[in-house]
Structures are given as C-alpha cells and as structure tokens.
C-alpha cells in the first residue's frame, strides 16, 4: 500500500501541471502559442503514459481502480481542449481529440468493472465529478463520432448514469454535480451543439471548479433533438 502512495503523489503532481495548462489555454491564442500548448500537452501526455506503464500490474482492488480512475480523468482534462472545433486541426490535434474520447470510454468501463464483479466499489464523491466530465466527452462522441463509436458511447453514458445513481445516496452534494451536467446538456440541446465544446472560461470552470455553481451560458442555433442524451434527474 505504501508504494501506491508514491504513484498517487506523482499523479497529483502531473494533474497540477494539467490544471495550470488548461487555465492558460482557455483564451483564444495565436497559432504559434497554440503550437507551444500542443508541445506541452504532448509532454504531459507522455508523463501520464509513463506513469501508467510503470504501475505494478499485480496491484488490484479499490486502490487500483481509484488511481486509474484518476489517470483517465486527468487524461480527459489534458486533451479536452481538442474537442473545440475552432482549433486548427492537425494530425497531432486530431490524435489528441481521440485520446480524450478513448479516455472517457475507458473511465466509464473501469468504474463499471467493480460493480460487475461485485467488489472494490469506488464510492467517493470525486468519482461523481469525473463521471460528469466523462459523460460530456461521451456525449460529444455520440453526436459527432464515427458510426462504430456511437453505440459504445451511448452504452457508456447509461453506465455513467447508473454510477451517479449509486453515488447519490452516499453524497447528497452530488445534486450540484448532476445539475452541472444538466447545464452542459442545455448548451448542447438549446444551441449549436458543437459550440458547446468551445474551450473558454466557462469550460475551464466546468472542468476544474467542480465545487462551484455555473452560470448557464448557452450557445445559439438549432437544437439537436435527434440525439439520445444522458438522462438527468
């Protein structure tokens, strides 16, 4: 168990850098600064991959699930800005966008595993926030992904909803977390859905300031009524 603390500390240190980078990247940046951000994202992505590659394979149970839940959560935060279509698309940024989508799906699958096998449940409050972030990415995949990606994303959205339902009796504060997801869905359904992923100050607050309420900033445009959305109470 002591060895796992070292892995946790390393992971939290990487998260600190991801958080700082996300706050700097939110405003509109000239192309040369975007390229600099891309390089920093690549560096931090390699740090996360190295952390995962060196994690002891024999470690299982709740701590294993909790640490890897954090790993996928931080990968989503790192690559989330590449869901913003206003960014210039390159081979690298397209790959980063896929990394974000794959991490959201892996996060959902990981949290479903303890429930499916009946052990090592992860029932702490922070899982609620990371599940909301995962759901927002999965919603993007369900709306804009390739045909073979849509069904797995929709299934993962349903699994995430079950997770939030299971967490709610333990953590009444999750009502705020679920409302945050509801606000995000409103950005998608009451406007131009793709603009809901603009990486602006609202989005940074949505990703990082999970203890605060959010202003209901919504995009304008045609509603997306043909998408099976993540159910919100």
In the chain, where the domains are located: 2-208
Across 58-82, average pLDDT: 85
Among candidates 133, 130, 135, 145, which has minimal Cα distance to 194? 145
Q: Which two tokens stand for residue 47?
A: 């740090």
Dihedral, 196, 201, 207, 210 alpha carbons, nearest 10: -120
Average pLDDT of every residue of the chain: 80
Encode pLDDT of 133-153 as tens digits.
999 999 999 988 899 999 999
- Model confidence pLDDT, tens digit, residues 189-230: 776 777 888 888 888 888 887 766 655 554 433 233 333 333
* pTM of full prediction above 0.75: yes
Q: Is the pLDDT of residue 59 over 60?
A: no
Say how far residue 124 (Cα) sits from the centre of its chain: 17
Most confidently modeled of 15-19, 64-68, 83-87?
15-19
- Residue 191 or residue 77, greater confidence: 77
Of 46-55, 160-169, 176-185, the least confident: 176-185
| Residue 123 vs residue 158, higher pLDDT | 158
């Amino acid at each position: 168990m002591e060895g796992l603390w070292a892995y946790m500390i390393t992971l939290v240190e990487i998260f600190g850098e991801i958080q700082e980078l996300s706050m700097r990247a939110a405003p509109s940046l000239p192309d040369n600064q975007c390229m600099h951000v891309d390089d920093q994202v690549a560096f931090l992505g390699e740090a996360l991959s190295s952390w995962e590659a060196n994690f002891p394979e024999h470690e299982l149970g709740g701590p294993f699930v909790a640490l890897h839940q954090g790993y996928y959560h931080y990968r989503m935060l790192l690559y989330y800005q590449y869901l913003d279509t206003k960014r210039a698309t390159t081979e690298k940024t397209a790959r980063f966008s896929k990394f974000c989508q794959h991490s959201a799906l892996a996060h959902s699958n990981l949290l479903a595993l303890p429930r499916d096998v009946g052990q090592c449940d992860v029932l702490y409050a922070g899982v609620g926030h990371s599940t909301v972030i995962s759901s927002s990415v999965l919603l993007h995949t369900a709306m804009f992904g390739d045909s073979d990606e849509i069904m797995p994303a929709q299934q993962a959205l349903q699994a995430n909803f079950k997770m939030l339902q299971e967490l709610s009796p333990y953590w009444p504060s999750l009502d705020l977390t679920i409302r945050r997801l509801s606000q995000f869905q409103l950005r998608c359904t009451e406007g131009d859905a793709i603009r809901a992923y603009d990486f602006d100050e609202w989005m940074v607050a949505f990703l990082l300031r999970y203890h605060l309420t959010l202003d209901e900033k919504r995009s304008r445009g045609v509603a997306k009524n043909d998408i099976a959305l993540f159910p919100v109470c």
